[in-house]
Amino acid sequence: MTTSTTDHTNAGRTDVDPTDPSQVNAPDDLDTTSTDPASAGLEPGTAENLGVDGLRVPVAGAALAAVRSYTETTVPDVSRADRVRSTDPDDFAVPTGREEEWRFTPLHRVRDLFTPAAEGEQAVSVVVRTDDPAVEDVEHAAGEGVARPGDRIAAVAQSTASVRRTVRVPAEHVVAEPIRVDLTGTGGRGAVDLVIDVGAFSSATVLVDHTGDATFAGTVGIRVGDSANVTVVSLQSWDATATHVGQHDAVLGRDSSFRHVAVSLGGDLVRMDVNVEYTGPGASSECFGLYFADAGQHLEHRLFVDHSAPTCTSNVTYKGALQGKDAHTVWIGDVLIRKEAEGINTYELNRNLVLTEGARADSVPNLEIETGQIEGAGHASATGRFDDEQLFYLQARGIRPLQARRLVVLGFFAEILQQIGIESVQDRLLEVVEQRLQDAALLDPTDDDVLGETVPAVPHAVTSEHSTQTTTGNPQEHTS
Amino acid sequence: MTTLEIRDLHVSVTADGEAKEILKGVDLTISSGETHAIMGPNGSGKSTLAYSIAGHPKYTVTSGTVTLDGEDVLAMSVDERARAGLFLAMQYPVEVPGVSVSNFLRTAKTEISGEAPVLRHWVKDLKSAMTGLKMDSDFASRNVNEGFSGGEKKRHEILQMKLLQPKLAILDETDSGLDVDALRVVSEGVNYVKAETGLGVLLITHYTRILRYIKPDFVHVFVDGRVAEEGGPELAERLENEGYDRYVTAGA
């Protein structure tokens, strides 16, 4: 599919012709009654509108052309269904930073990625390792990617990628050991398009491991065949200087099970989109995430679960910790329950633990419901600091402050780590988390229990506007 | 022989920006092998005393001293107090998600004894301590206090006391919320540790019923932040019959 847009030069104007089929460009065959321009009855807008939250949202740009009927209103991006998906970078204007999908990202740190790398520059190598001869590892051509880019960086990456690899598992085959895909940066720009294609009734775990240094943009398309069972673990274990903007799209077949685990510990900036869609009934997805931002680090995870088929389930659980000045994490959890998605059940959860002053966690769950005929839908988001009472309890049993914090943080992450299911990886990640906590303790003199202070040092939390139990637009719980 | 001495202890808490004095000069001496019951009406400062000794940051000691065998307890951090041999069984034990009971207990034991327990012995000790408190074996793999019933939380507190072997334990309303069976099990646990290690016990309670299972040597009646009356076990019987009215009226 393609989502062409019109009139880039006409940015700032909204005189879109609703009769032009090329402009009725919501992805797929969404029932567009809710975006019917005629019913909107709106007058042409001005170049900028005041968003609901007071942000000035420019109407300029192709990304917003898709929501043409709403560009005149105060809601700039009314439905996730209306966002542009396109392989053509020119379908996405270079963002200004005021767009809903970019407003949390420090654009100056990703700006390079809006334009293609120099010809021949490829600073990221890809090695696929598996001991199963039935697993195919082949190159695919441009245009054969499975991911459908949802922003300019992903479109640039996919269209200009110098490495395009497909890992294919045939139908009715169980891959016993995890397939490893090592993406190693050697400094400089890199763009990679991966396809993970698992046939019907098959089962596989794929570990995508990002290490080294790079200014990297990547797309990963995951095809989960009917009744297949697929786990993708993506580790962002970059060096401290790396930049990574990535998009993972999973397309789930009938009765399939899909698990995605994103672990972002390294890099200067990581921004990941994880999108899940369903092509048949009875499929289930679970998306887990773990992130730990240090001083100056920006770690952003954006989830979009598109319930496009009946009787499917989705569960999203992301947990993050932050420490140090200007550590910033962003979690966006969008769930769209389309009209046809009757009988589905969805829940999403984000928890953040702010360990020191000066860190910021943004958390925005969004639930869009187009049918009431569902089993359940809910979300929760909470951001807090160390719990004084937990620390007191542990210390009252003789456990030193640093050790007490370690127990609390590892306990906090435990449920996500357990999902990875690859022991060597879990151990490696545990080590990184422990090292982070040790480093922080060395930097923070209040942690020094030799001082014999009677009050445990409890950092002050700086949390976002969406700090606790945030609900955007829809009720916290919806059950029918 | 261990002695905890509390002298003229004044403690205040800050609420709404105003410091309020809760303890108004407490004197108390507890030695190994002794059981002291502190009884008193709600709001008399019993729990404040317990948490102040343990070092909870919410409570500010404004004057007075607390010493353990001459060492200044008030100068110690919370964890140092525990390692010095003090133990507080809490009225409302705190949940610690993701941390298993066995991991928690082993970590605490390692900190308190200064070295990791020998695994083989540790597993055996843990098992027998749990059996003694009539706790299921799957208990060790559950997360600390998460989803525990009231009775399970209290048993878990006593389990910790059994394994950590403090010199002096403060039991803060350990009897509250327990049915008769659970109360008996918990009390037996306390008596067992006492007999084994010569533990000194400071038993804080609102009701006299736990004193049928754990015999006090001394009873102190707490009213309005200080000890209003002291005596032997017979004082508890009198309270059983008369309640606290006498003290509350006298104090008013």
Mean pLDDT on A69-95: 73
Shortest alpha-carbon distance between residue B223 and chain A (Å): 27
- Whether A156 shows a pLDDT value over 90: the answer reads yes
Residues of A in contact with B96 (CB under 8 A): 390, 393-394, 407-408, 411
Q: Do B57 and A392 touch (CB under 8 A)?
A: yes
How far is the C-alpha of A113 from the C-alpha of B169, rounded, in Å?
Answer: 62
Residues of A in contact with B98 (CB under 8 A): 410-415
pLDDT at B95: 93
pLDDT at A261: 98
How far is the C-alpha of A391 from the C-alpha of A400, rounded, in Å?
Answer: 9
Mean pLDDT on A305-321: 97
B185 against A468, higher pLDDT? B185
Chain B residue with minimum CA distance to A417: B98
Pick the range with the lowest mean pLDDT from A287-291, B21-25, B120-124. B120-124
**Best mutation site among B78, B104, B143 for testing chain A: the one with the most A CBs within 10 Å?**
B78
Is A353 in contact with A323 (CB distance < 8 Å)? no
The model's pLDDT over A12-54, given as tens digits with 9 standing for 90+, comes to: 333 333 333 333 333 333 332 233 333 332 333 322 222 233 2
Give the 3-state secondary structure of residue A424. helix
Pick the range with the lowest mean pLDDT from A263-267, B113-117, B243-247. B243-247
Mean pLDDT on A427-433: 93
Mean pLDDT on A436-462: 49
Is A371 in contact with A342 (CB distance < 8 Å)? yes
Strand-pairing partners, residue A220, are A194, A248
A369 against A443, higher pLDDT? A369
Task: Output the CA–CA distances (angstroms, integers) from residue A53 to A300, A335, A367, A382, in the order listed.
Answer: 20, 20, 17, 20
Q: Write phi, then psi, for B227 (nearest 5 degrees).
A: -80, 120
Pick the range with the lowest mean pLDDT from A158-172, A202-216, A257-271, A424-438. A424-438
pLDDT at A327: 96
- Whether B42 shows a pLDDT value over 60: the answer reads yes
Using 50, 70 and 90 to split pLDDT, how confident is the model at B168? very high
Pick the range with the lowest mean pLDDT from A200-209, A252-261, B232-241. B232-241
Q: Do A407 and B107 touch (CB under 8 A)?
A: yes
* Sheet with B35-39: strands ordered across: B86-89, B168-172, B200-205, B35-39, B218-223, B226-231
Q: Do A411 and B99 touch (CB under 8 A)?
A: yes
pLDDT at A443: 61
The model's pLDDT over B48-58, given as tens digits with 9 standing for 90+, comes to: 999 999 999 99
How far is the C-alpha of A109 from the C-alpha of A286, rounded, in Å?
Answer: 30
pLDDT at A208: 98
Mean pLDDT on A143-148: 95
pLDDT at A122: 86
Of chain B, the percentage scoring pLDDT greater than 90 comes to: 85
- Whether A449 shows a pLDDT value over 60: the answer reads no
Mean confidence (pLDDT) of chain B: 93
Shortest alpha-carbon distance between residue B75 and chain A (Å): 7
Q: Do B111 and A392 touch (CB under 8 A)?
A: no
Mean confidence (pLDDT) of chain A: 80
Using 50, 70 and 90 to split pLDDT, how confident is the model at B250? low
Using 50, 70 and 90 to split pLDDT, how confident is the model at B243? confident
**B92: exposed, middle or buried (C-beta count within 10 Å: 0-12, 13-18, 19+)?**
middle
CA B239 to mean position of chain CA atoms: 21
Q: Do A452 and B76 touch (CB under 8 A)?
A: yes
pTM of the entire structure? 0.77
The model's pLDDT over B64-80, given as tens digits with 9 standing for 90+, comes to: 999 999 999 999 999 99
Mean pLDDT on A448-474: 33
Secondary structure of chain B: what % helix, strand, coil (to 5)? Answer: 40, 30, 25
Q: Is any Cβ of chain B less than 8 angstroms from the Cβ of A225?
A: no
ipTM surpassing 0.90: yes
Strand-pairing partners, residue A223, are A197, A251
Residues of A in contact with B90 (CB under 8 A): 393, 396
